[in-house]
A and B are shown apart, each in its own frame.
Chain A
């Protein structure tokens, strides 16, 4: 049955209306979970706030398990989706730059838009930076980035096919890893909790 838009079951206008509605849910959840608070986001890298780990991996696992079941029941054909292509070198290099940007800037593109919408001035400046970076990238693309951007092209690769293990087994292992991460990051946060001031804990909502 699904995905609807790629099979032209719904038209583009309807798809864009849905994009807007999904965006409302996305923004609402980012804000409600505390992702507009830059200190909570940075907290993942120092261990004083485990929220990012909990939200992020719960979301990934929920979607992964849900789509896996739906695909196997024939409710959605994942091969018809705009399945992401893998460019391993490009993503590795880009990801390292993003990791630096995360620690230095305290946001990522989605969370900064959410934060800027709720009045965070630092997030507005961050967005200005993102756009500057993209403009800079585009203007220098032809002679600087063209080759790097497609480096390590592998096409559409499912990690379980690449590793040669059953998808169900892989997801089960991922769940175990997720639970272990929740536990460890919670412990780390608990360790910090005894060492942080009342004001800090209040601001982080912990």
Chain B
């Protein structure tokens, strides 16, 4: 076996403990898209503070004493970068490559990744978070929002998977 991964139940259990610790210490769960948003808001604020004050989305986020990037979620994301590198080094997986199904060209994969990313960028801001912040951390405290997010993201995912089958599965020759 070329690729060795941690037992999924063990990884899930440890991830669950991490969420508990996060709620215990900081009063919030793990999140990702919120950190991206903070970086985006901080960038806009840096380029034009007056614009940031005029936009109703960024305005309430740029009036504090610190930069919007000085947030729990941004520091969490910085940690994610280090933790991921650490694990990939230990498992011998740190290398430049394009992940994709073999029958898809590199160019096509990168286009699709870009489009998928854009959809996530918009979707997370409408839906108040992503798979980690909205769903996983929401489920951890039985928040209704987490369950709605779970059903919407995975429900839609299974339906879109039928439409976009060709991205991941080779068309059968038979």
Enumerate chain A interface residues (CB-CB to B < 8 A).
2-6, 10, 15-34, 36-39, 42-46, 50-51, 54-64, 66-68, 70, 75-76, 78, 80-88, 90-115, 117-123, 125-139, 141-142, 145-146, 148-149, 154, 156-160, 162, 167, 170-171, 199-200, 202-205
Contact of A29 among B11, B75, B118, B147 (CB under 8 A): B11
Per DSSP, chain A at the interface is helix
B154 touches A99 (CB 8 A): yes
Q: A33 to chain B: which residues have CB within 8 Å?
A: 5-6, 8, 11-12, 15
Q: B141 to chain A: which residues have CB within 8 Å?
A: 64, 67, 78, 81, 83-84, 158
A34 touches B5 (CB 8 A): yes
A58 touches B8 (CB 8 A): yes
B116 touches A129 (CB 8 A): yes
Q: A90 to chain B: which residues have CB within 8 Å?
A: 126-128
Nearest CB to that of A18 among chain B residues?
B25
Contact of B27 among A82, A125, A136, A199 (CB under 8 A): A82
B20 touches A67 (CB 8 A): yes
A121 touches B97 (CB 8 A): yes
A113 touches B84 (CB 8 A): yes
Q: Using a CB-CB cutoff of 8 Å, which residues 100-153 of chain B contact chain A?
A: 100-102, 109-110, 112-132, 134, 136-149, 151-153
Known pairs A110-B132, A141-B57; A118 contacts B157 (CB<8 A): no
Known pairs A27-B82, A82-B28; A99 contacts B157 (CB<8 A): yes
A25 touches B18 (CB 8 A): yes
Whole-angstrom distance between the alpha carbons of A148 and B123 in the complex?
11
A23 touches B82 (CB 8 A): yes
B82 touches A3 (CB 8 A): no
Whole-angstrom distance between the alpha carbons of A78 and B80 in the complex?
25
Per DSSP, chain B at the interface is helix
Nearest CB to that of A82 among chain B residues?
B28
A133 touches B117 (CB 8 A): yes
How many contacts between A and B, using CB within 8 angstroms? Answer: 549
Nearest CB to that of B44 among chain A residues?
A138
Q: Using a CB-CB cutoff of 8 Å, which residues 79-105 of chain B contact chain A?
A: 79-88, 90-91, 93-102
For A56, A94, A108, which residue has the most chain B Cβ atoms within 10 angstroms?
A: A94
Q: B73 to chain A: which residues have CB within 8 Å?
A: 19
B126 touches A117 (CB 8 A): no
Closest 6 CB pairs of A and B: A105-B116, A133-B121, A23-B79, A94-B127, A129-B117, A95-B152
Nearest CB to that of A27 among chain B residues?
B83
Q: B96 to chain A: which residues have CB within 8 Å?
A: 119, 121
Q: A88 to chain B: which residues have CB within 8 Å?
A: 144-145, 148
Nearest CB to that of A2 among chain B residues?
B24
Known pairs A51-B8, A90-B127, A94-B128; A81 contacts B149 (CB<8 A): no
Interface assignment of B53: CB less than 8 Å from any CB of chain A: no
Whole-angstrom distance between the alpha carbons of A115 and B114 in the complex?
15
B133 CB to nearest chain A CB (Å): 8
Contact of A62 among B12, B23, B117 (CB under 8 A): B12
B16 CB to nearest chain A CB (Å): 2
Contact of A104 among B29, B116, B139, B151 (CB under 8 A): B116
Q: B173 to chain A: which residues have CB within 8 Å?
A: none
A76 CB to nearest chain B CB (Å): 6
B113 touches A125 (CB 8 A): yes
Nearest CB to that of B94 among chain A residues?
A118
Nearest CB to that of B26 among chain A residues?
A5
Whole-angstrom distance between the alpha carbons of A159 and B149 in the complex?
13
A136 touches B18 (CB 8 A): no
